[in-house]
Amino acid sequence: MNGAISAQTIPALRRGIRRHYDATREQNVLLCPERVILLDDIGNSIIELCDGERSIAAISLALAERYAEDPAQVEADVTSFVQELSDKGLVTV
């Protein structure tokens, strides 16, 4: 584990990993060395905001507004998702 994620954490994709639209799969993916990770619509929305400038709180607020959802629930979901990606070494925090 790379440390606990909090609302102040500012995530970014690790160097060498990028978000890409795969036309064959007709789906957004994370391209990683020697693997491809499929992203659903929500995962893709989170990843597109992980730009190394926005905090978890800012990402969550933007998504809560975009999808008209409860900000607290969105923040919990974003935190969990980013923690999972951090644990796998796909994002820096």
DSSP assignment of 2-13, as one string?
A: -----TT---EE
The pLDDT of residue 79 is 97
What does the CA dihedral 44, 48, 49, 51 come to, rounded to 10 degrees? Answer: 140
Which residue ranges in the chain fall short of pLDDT 70?
1-3
Q: Which domains does the chain have, with CATH numbers?
A: 12-92 (1.10.10.1150)
Rounded Cα gap, residues 43 and 20, in angstroms: 13
pLDDT above 70 covers what percent of the chain?
Answer: 97
This prediction has a pTM of: 0.88
Rounded Cα gap, residues 7 and 20, in angstroms: 26
The answer to whether 82 and 9 have CB atoms below 8 angstroms apart is yes
The pLDDT of residue 4 is 83
The pLDDT of residue 3 is 66
